[in-house]
Amino acid sequence: MWITLPVFWGALASSPQLVGNLQAWYINRDGARIGNTLWDTFSNTSAPGAHLSWALVDPVAAGTNEDIINAVLQNQAWVAVVVEANATTKLSRARTNGDANYDPRTAITVYYAQARQETAVGNYVLPITTQILTASVSAYATASAQRYFAQITPGTDVNQTAVQLLSQAPQTISPAVSWTMVNLRPYTTPAAQAVTLVGNIFLTIFTFIMTMAHAAARVILAPRLRLSSYLCLRLVVPFIAYIPLSMSYTLVSLAFGLPFDGRFSAARGFLLAFMFNYLGMLALGLSLEAMITLLTPKFIPYFLFILIIYNVAPTLLPPELLSPFFAYGEGFPIWNLSQAMRGILFNTTTDFGQTVGVMVGWISVSCGTLVLFTWWMRRRELAALLQDASIAEPSLRGSRGDVAEVAVEETKKV
């Protein structure tokens, strides 16, 4: 418990202090009063409450809306707040002209991609952005209304024309400035949490059940097999058994309407998801298969626990909200599997090639250790057998060294 649980607890514990690691862009295309005043609030890190890491991005460098959208999709920023060009001029012109068509929401646009990590976006990115926008915009609107009323009521006169025009466009006073939220990658299907988070635990447990069943069945066959056939059996069974298992797992997701057409066609998305689940099961299951050789079925549950927790902990939150310790997660199967699933279901930016690479790497390592451990355990068993035999059969009895030598010879023959 003390080796594993702190990893899970720890992953969740430090996120509020690390919110400042979340990159956020502020793009001031307006360059006038609205854009500048709002930036004063966004950049004020001494204000109470949590702060994202707001960066003032040069509007020319940021480029068009397309470029900003792409940057957010490429995970360069969690959120981009764009104060549109001429926002200040447009507002004051609408006020003086009584423009009933003025839409306050056109002044600011907020881009974010919820499916990049729905917990981080829902718990931190959106609440913090909305809170700072509400505070800064309402403060600006109040000050700006005050200035305008002072302007149209000079001294004791009241500019009747201006008041008349203002009554045609009350939205230029309240709210005066507002914003439009653009969710570039909505997390449309809550059931997707099953495959991006908790489902991976079930997947590991399925491979564990397979490993235990396989180990129990093997005991009967093992004494009748040569080492090469035995190794063959050990490797081939998981590779075949995980095909129907991962297919069933993916079919459950299909039945509950997960959007496999998020990025590719529905058919391709389904097959890819199946392939990734299969690779993920192999990456997780073969490491159990390798370790059960050393630990034996008696102690393998402890390894299962370590495997699950160390794999799942880094996927709970994005790397920015985890202590640097959890950087290992990027090389672990579940983190990569979960990223790949997001890519398939929600079209988030994912490097599928790298994910396959990580999985295949793990599978290869597990196959290698499985062969090594099996060979080693066979050698030990044989040595023990020979020793027993030599004790029972006095004619075979020699010094311990002789027995070991005979064992090595026998092992070589095998």
Ligand X SMILES: *[C@@H]1O[C@H](CO)[C@@H](O)[C@H](O)[C@H]1NC(C)=O
Residues that bind ligand X (CB under 6 A): 40, 44, 46-47, 73, 85-86, 96, 152, 159, 161-162, 165, 263, 330-331, 336, 339-340, 347, 350-351, 354-355, 358
Min dist. Cβ of residue 240 to ligand X (A) = 26
Nearest distance from C-beta of residue 24 to ligand X, angstroms? 17
Whose Cβ is closer to ligand X: residue 174's or residue 354's? 354
- 300 vs 359, which CB is nearer to ligand X? 359
103 and 174 in contact (C-beta within 8 Å)?
A: no
Specify the residue, 44 or 131, whose C-beta has the smaller distance to ligand X.
44
With CB atoms as reference, the residue minimizing the distance to ligand X is 330
Rounded to whole angstroms, the Cα distance separating 295 from 310 reads 19
Nearer to ligand X, 214 or 263 (CB): 263
- Judged by CB, which is closer to ligand X: 44, or 193? 44
Nearest distance from C-beta of residue 126 to ligand X, angstroms: 21
For ligand X, give the closer residue by CB, 351 or 402. 351
Q: How far is the CB of 162 from ligand X (least distance, A)?
A: 4
Question: Cβ closer to ligand X: 165 or 177?
Answer: 165
Please state the closest distance from residue 158 (CB atom) to ligand X, in A. Answer: 9
CA distances from 167 to 60, 98, 159, 267 (A): 37, 7, 13, 57
Q: How far is the CB of 141 from ligand X (least distance, A)?
A: 17
**337 Cβ contact list (under 8 Å, min separation 6):** 200, 276, 277, 279, 280, 355, 359
Residue 105 makes CB contacts below 8 A (sequence gap 6+) with 178, 179, 180
CB of 85 to ligand X, least distance (A): 4
CA distances from 274 to 153, 278, 354, 391 (A): 70, 6, 17, 54
Q: What is the full DSSP assignment across 213-259? A: HHHHHHHHHGGGS-HHHHHHHHHHHHHHHHHHHHHHHHHHHHHTT--
Query: What is the rounded distance in angstroms from the CA atom of residue 307 to the CA atom of residue 295?
Result: 14
Structure tokens at 113: 């991609």
Q: How many Å apart are CA 70 and CA 81, to the nearest integer?
A: 14
- Sequence-distant (≥ 6) Cβ neighbours of residue 9 within 8 angstroms: none
- Report the helix count and the strand count for the chain, using DSSP H and E: 16, 5
CA-wise closest residue to 128 among 251, 21, 286, 246 = 21
47 or 377: CB nearest ligand X: 47
- Residue matched to tokens 């160390």: 310
Q: Which is nearer to ligand X, 234 or 263 (CB)?
A: 263
Judged by CB, which is closer to ligand X: 21, or 106? Answer: 106
Rounded Cα distance, 221 and 213, in Å: 13
List % helix, strand, coil for the chain (3-state, nearest 5).
70, 5, 20
| Nearest C-alpha neighbor of 281 from the set 242, 311, 234, 310 | 242
Provide the minimum distance between the beta carbon of 37 and ligand X in the complex, in angstroms, as a whole number: 10
Task: Tell me how far, at minimum, the Cβ of 99 lies from ligand X, in Å.
Answer: 12
Rounded CA-CA distance 253/260 in Å is: 9
**Which residue, 154 or 394, is less far from ligand X as judged by CB?**
154
CB of residue 346 to ligand X, shortest distance in Å: 9
Minimum separation from the CB atom of position 410 to ligand X (A): 44
Q: Is-contact 263 343, C-beta < 8 A? A: yes
